[in-house]
């Protein structure tokens, strides 16, 4: 029997377009940031990228320490 893990809270995810609007850049720039490791992306079942809102807000506030690898 396999146990299913449920998260108590699901974190809000943003599309590349939403992140781009916040940073005032093109959505392709956001994708390049993810490929370069500057921003963590999550892939949907359809293969689309999504970004954690908390991480994006942290970057907007100038706190880059949480995203550096």
Domain of residue 26, CATH code: 1.10.1660.10
Does any domain span residue 67? no
Query: So what's the pLDDT on residue 62?
Result: 85
For the stretch 62-68, contacts whose Cβ atoms lie closer than 8 Å and that sit 24 or more positions apart, written own/partner, are 67/38, 67/39, 67/40
Structural domain count, the chain? 1
What domain range includes position 51?
A: 13-60
Task: Report if residue 26 sits inside a domain.
Answer: yes
Per-residue pLDDT tens over the stretch 43-55: 999 999 999 999 9
pLDDT in tens, 5-42: 545 468 899 999 999 999 999 999 999 999 999 999 99
Is 3 a member of any domain?
A: no
In which band, very low, low, confident or very high, does the pLDDT at 69 lie, cut at 50, 70 and 90? very low
Evaluate whether residue 68 is within a structural domain.
no
Q: Is residue 24 part of a domain?
A: yes
Residue 36: count of CB within 10 angstroms of its CB: 8
């Amino acid at each position: 029997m396999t146990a299913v893990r449920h998260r108590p809270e699901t974190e809000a995810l943003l599309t590349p377009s939403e992140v781009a609007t916040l940073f005032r850049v093109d959505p392709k720039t956001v994708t390049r940031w993810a490929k370069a490791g500057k921003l963590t992306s999550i892939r949907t079942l359809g293969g689309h990228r999504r970004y954690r809102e908390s991480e994006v807000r942290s970057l907007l506030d100038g706190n880059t320490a949480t995203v550096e690898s």
